[in-house]
Amino acid sequence: MDSPDPPDCTPASLGFEVALAQVLGTLTPLPGREEVPLEQALGRVLAQPLLAGMDLQPWPNSAMDGYAFAVADLDLALGEGLTLAGTALAGHPFTGRLAAGQCVRILTGAILPAGADTIVMQEQVIVEGPRVRLTAAVRPGSNVRAPGEDVRAGEVVLPAGSRLGPPQIALAAALGQGHLTVTRRPRVALFTSGDELTPLGQPLAAGAIYDSNRYLLRAMLEEMGVSVVDLGIVADDPDAVRAAFAAARAQADVVISSGGVSVGDADYVRDVFSEFGDIHFWRIDMKPGRPLAFGRLGETWFFGLPGNPVSTAVTFLQFVRPALRLLEGEPASPPLRLELPLLEAVHKAPGRLDFQRGVLSRDATGRLGVRSAGHQGSHVMSSLAAADCLMVLSATAGDLPAGSLVQVELLPWRATTKP
């Protein structure tokens, strides 16, 4: 569970929306850009707009397999039929020009022959030797893809700040772009804090736990394509925390810690950081994850995340992930949230915005809804692994009965399915 707050704990908690706006309003994209081959550009962010250097498609071509002819010959095509003059294939165009009364067999993607302006699909013709007769009238220009129908030369096809996914990569390739100019990715230093943390492969002492948060955070960072500097486990000792911050400042744009930002006697991270830089805030009215620190260490940004694993994951998703995207040059945008009915009642105490783990499911009628992924304690990792979404429950809400409409935010990973 999140640590209780003593009555004299200051400063007061910030509202979630205020805190997020402060983070995103403070950060600016990192300087620096590089040119990369197109095959290495997946997941990167464009540093400058991509302009089309040509029309797409660059020439008129066929949208399907059929026969190309001039619509002026339509009456002849419906009556006696047209004379087959040759074949046009993708990459192997028909050479020459159609004469009156002629047609060409054409396959999808092939250039429209000179003298033709219309294509009839092969299912609408009868072929009798060299004669091709239409069985139904077609409109002028049918089944012809016009030059520039997709993109016009000089048009901005991808603005700066676009995240390059498979469709964007394909679009750049279709325009002949072998290299793209992209922004610099953030370098992130990461450490976990706590004398109870034990490295993997070592036996657990009484009261100790394995260091799962560092693996959780590293995996979420690597999933984003971020360069990670892993500083390991830092002891609950001010000098050790100082050394970690010094190392992080020397080699990273962002430093993320997990643990040590609450109000316990051995929570040194926040206090030691104050010797190096400025803390903007360190308490948020959200659950899980109230103890969340954000500040600046010279040119390095700092996120101090809580120590409970679910709190770590939720604060990373809601604050760190959008911050890293912004630093990489992607414009800030609110997460996509769906409004879905609860398939079962959900317990919630009024007071804080609550991100509860959920599972998308369908009711007996096939209607999509959401149910709890299980135990909602901030230490329970099994329900985090079982969740495919977060139910975003307002601060004022109390217990919610089945059928209530709630906001749902999809998680960026697949849920564990139970056998």
Model pLDDT for residues 23-63, shown as the tens digit of each residue: 999 999 999 999 999 999 999 999 999 999 999 989 999 99
Give residue 266's pLDDT: 42
| Fold of the domain built from segment(s) 337-410 | Beta-clip (2.40.340)
Give residue 165's pLDDT: 97
Sheet holding 300-305, edge to edge: 227-234, 187-193, 254-258, 300-305, 293-297, 278-281
Q: Quick check: do 61-145 and 337-410 share a fold?
A: no
Q: Has this prediction a pTM greater than 0.85?
A: yes
Whether pLDDT at 264 is above 60 = no
Query: Which of 100, 97, 101 lies closest to 133 in space, CA to CA?
Result: 101
Q: What is the mean pLDDT of residues 312-322?
A: 97
- The architecture that CATH gives domain 14-32+185-327 is 3-Layer(aba) Sandwich (3.40)
Whether pLDDT at 338 is above 50 = yes
Count Cβ neighbours within 10 Å for each residue of 87-125 and write b for 16 or more, e otherwise. ebeeeebbeeebeebbbbbbbebbbbbebbbbbbbeeeb
pLDDT in tens, 137-147: 999 999 999 99
pLDDT in tens, 83-107: 999 999 999 999 999 999 999 999 9
Distance set, CA 419 to CA 86, 101, 176, 359, 386 (Å): 60, 67, 47, 15, 12
Quick one: pLDDT band at residue 318, thresholds 50, 70, 90? very high
| Fold of the domain built from segment(s) 33-54+157-183 | Molybdopterin biosynthesis moea protein, domain 2 (3.90.105)
DSSP reduced 3-state for 245? helix
Quick one: pLDDT band at residue 305, thresholds 50, 70, 90? very high
Whether pLDDT at 5 is above 50 = no
Rg (CA), the chain: 30
Quick one: pLDDT band at residue 263, thresholds 50, 70, 90? low
Whether pLDDT at 9 is above 50 = no
DSSP annotation string for 90-147: TTBPPPSBPPTTEEEEE-TTPBPPBT--EEEEGGGEEEETTEEEESS---TTTTEEPT
Quick one: pLDDT band at residue 297, thresholds 50, 70, 90? confident
Whether pLDDT at 320 is above 70 = yes
Give the angle subtended at the CA of 144 by the CAs of 139 and 147, to the nearest 5°: 135
Q: What percent of the chain has pLDDT over 70?
A: 95
Give residue 6's pLDDT: 35
Give residue 262's pLDDT: 59
Mean pLDDT of the chain: 92
Whether pLDDT at 235 is above 90 = no
Give residue 72's pLDDT: 97
Whether pLDDT at 419 is above 70 = no
Domain locations in the chain as residue ranges: 14-32+185-327, 33-54+157-183, 61-145, 337-410
- The architecture that CATH gives domain 61-145 is Beta Complex (2.170)
